[in-house]
Amino acid sequence: MASKNGGFIGTDGLDAPDAPSSITPTVGVGSVSIAFTDEGSGTSATTSFVAQVSTDGTDYSVGSNTGSSSPIEITGLTGGTAHTAKVWAINAYGTSAPSVASDSFSPSAARGIFAGGDTGSMRNDIRYFTLASTGNTTDFGNLSAVRQRLGNSGASSTRGIFSGGKND
């Protein structure tokens, strides 16, 4: 039977699993991989896990995914926004209490790239940009523009680079 406070005793004497522990987030671009430790399943094997994320520490419905083992990846998160995660274990007799919340993490913002060129005018066009965390396609944050001929290079210390254009 479960030895920690996460499980419960069912009417047939069998119990739900204990809450997972050691919740460890690893961020990606608009995503997080949640690693955890299964703390045991009482008298029935753990069959699956649910990982959910929150931006306010209360409502864990911002993102969710299931899996049969650690880690579980959650995608579609807002880059640059602080999140926490909790994990639940499930067996044939029920669902555990939630795990303790993970440390705060912020997924990376999505990045985009556009590359093209016009060989007739010996121009190239390469654009790098960081997508806004709001998802608004008109707001790409701080960008810079560089015009250049093929073979030349441009640089920028801002979040984005635009290269290409007409010879002025």
3-state secondary structure 87-123: EEEEECCEECCCCCCCCCECCECCEEEEEEEECCCCE
Q: What confidence score (pLDDT) does residue 130 get?
A: 52
Segment-wise mean pLDDT, segments of 10 residues, the chain, 168 residues: 48 73 95 94 85 96 95 94 95 90 91 56 54 45 45 45 45
Q: Which domains does the chain have, with CATH numbers?
A: 1-108 (2.60.40.10), 111-163 (no CATH)
Q: What is the pLDDT of residue 123?
A: 56
> Model pTM?
0.63
What is the distance, to the nearest Å, from the Cα of residue 64 to the centroid of all Cα atoms in its chain?
10
CB 84 within 8 A of CB 107: no
Q: Which residue has the tokens 């390469």?
A: 126
Nearest to 54 by CA among 99, 101, 100: 101
Predicted pLDDT at 9 = 53
> Residue 116's pLDDT is what?
56
Predicted local confidence at residue 77, as pLDDT: 93
